[in-house]
Amino acid sequence: MATMKNENVGKKRSQWAELWKNLKRNKMALLGLVIIVIIVLLAIFADQIANYDQVVIKQNLRMRLKPPSAQHWLGTDEFGRDIFARLVHGARVSLKVGILAVGIAIAIGGFLGAVAGYYGGKLDNIIMRIMDIFLAVPSILLAIAIVSALGPNLLNLMIAVSISSVPRYARIVRASVLSIRDQEFIEAARAIGANDARIICRHIIPNSLAPVIVQGTLGVAGAILSTAGLSFIGLGIQPPAPEWGSMLSGGRQYLRYAWWVTTFPGVSIMITILSLNLLGDGLRDALDPRLKQ
């Protein structure tokens, strides 16, 4: 029994080692990973980098719209607040919404997709037709409707972004399950008496994770962009809390003579999404079975 467990642990380690080996071949994916790690570290240590109340929230109108300098690396906004400090704390908000919203969407969509693909028949038809109804509405419009109904705050924003993403993961997992459920190891699990819940949780879902991981990485980028878009139109994180989309919206009227107020939040959104897309493409290539042959 202990030997079997050791073999399973060694197999998992070898799979991760092979994934990392394939990922290292893609220099652009590594660049995206490095940038994401830097952004995550900035978000984690945001409180040590800048005091939230004194630098991020407190207004200082005597310092309003100051250009980048040694004192304020990226300048100040229309209320005299340090833009770099607000970007660092805004990264925490954007990453939190992106990761948690995608995590919720993967959990719900993955479960629905696994159940639909495994059982098939009427249950599959009912679940997927409901998903088709959600897919018929553009995700950003669905998110706007949900936030408008529930109210603009962080929790409702995560709920809106996650619900609008559920159908995508349900369809991905369902497609993977349909290709897995009739394979020999599933038949072997049934033969030794494993129930449906165990087969789905221990065999089908783990073997369907590769496309979900790739889509989840790309989905975080989409969730961050949706969060910024909702905040830009006033339905996301409310001022004075720092969020990249609301910073972009607040500074657009000063674009002609204070370009830094909108440029740096926009660049932050662009770099983060680009890095996640590069990492997602690299993971897709690393998990492609054709590259392992």
Q: Assess whether pLDDT exceeds 80 at residue 14.
A: no
The mean of the pLDDT values for the chain is: 85
For residue 273, give the nearest of 36, 85, 43, 40 by alpha carbon.
36
Domain locations in the chain?
A: 26-52+73-286
For residue 83, what are the contacts with CB-CB under 8 A and spacing of at least 6? 72, 74, 75, 76, 77, 247, 260, 261, 264, 265
Distance in angstroms (rounded) separating the CA atoms of residues 120 and 193 = 21
Q: Assess whether pLDDT exceeds 70 at residue 12.
A: no
Provide long-range contacts, Cβ within 8 A and 24+ apart, for 123-132: 124/174, 127/170, 128/170, 128/171, 128/174, 131/166, 131/167, 131/170, 131/171, 132/167
With 0-12 CB in 10 A as exposed, 13-18 as middle and 19+ as buried, what is 169?
A: buried
pLDDT in tens, 105-133: 999 998 899 889 888 889 999 999 999 99
Question: What are the structure tokens assigned to 166, written together?
Answer: 């559920």
Taken in order 104, 222, 19, 30, the sign of the CA dihedral is negative
Provide the pLDDT for residue 154: 83
Question: What are the structure tokens assigned to 180, written together?
Answer: 């897995």
Neighbours of 174 (CB within 10 A): 24
For residue 126, what are the contacts with CB-CB under 8 A and spacing of at least 6? none
Tell me which of 35-44, 130-139, 176-185, 237-246 is least confident: 176-185
Provide the pLDDT for residue 89: 93
Q: Contact, 76 vs 62, CB < 8 A? A: no
For residue 279, give the nearest of 48, 102, 20, 101 by alpha carbon.
20
Please give the distance of CA 265 from its chain centroid, rounded to a whole number. Answer: 18
189 or 78: which carries more pLDDT confidence? Answer: 78
Provide the pLDDT for residue 10: 52
Assigned CATH topology for domain 26-52+73-286:
MetI-like fold (1.10.3720)
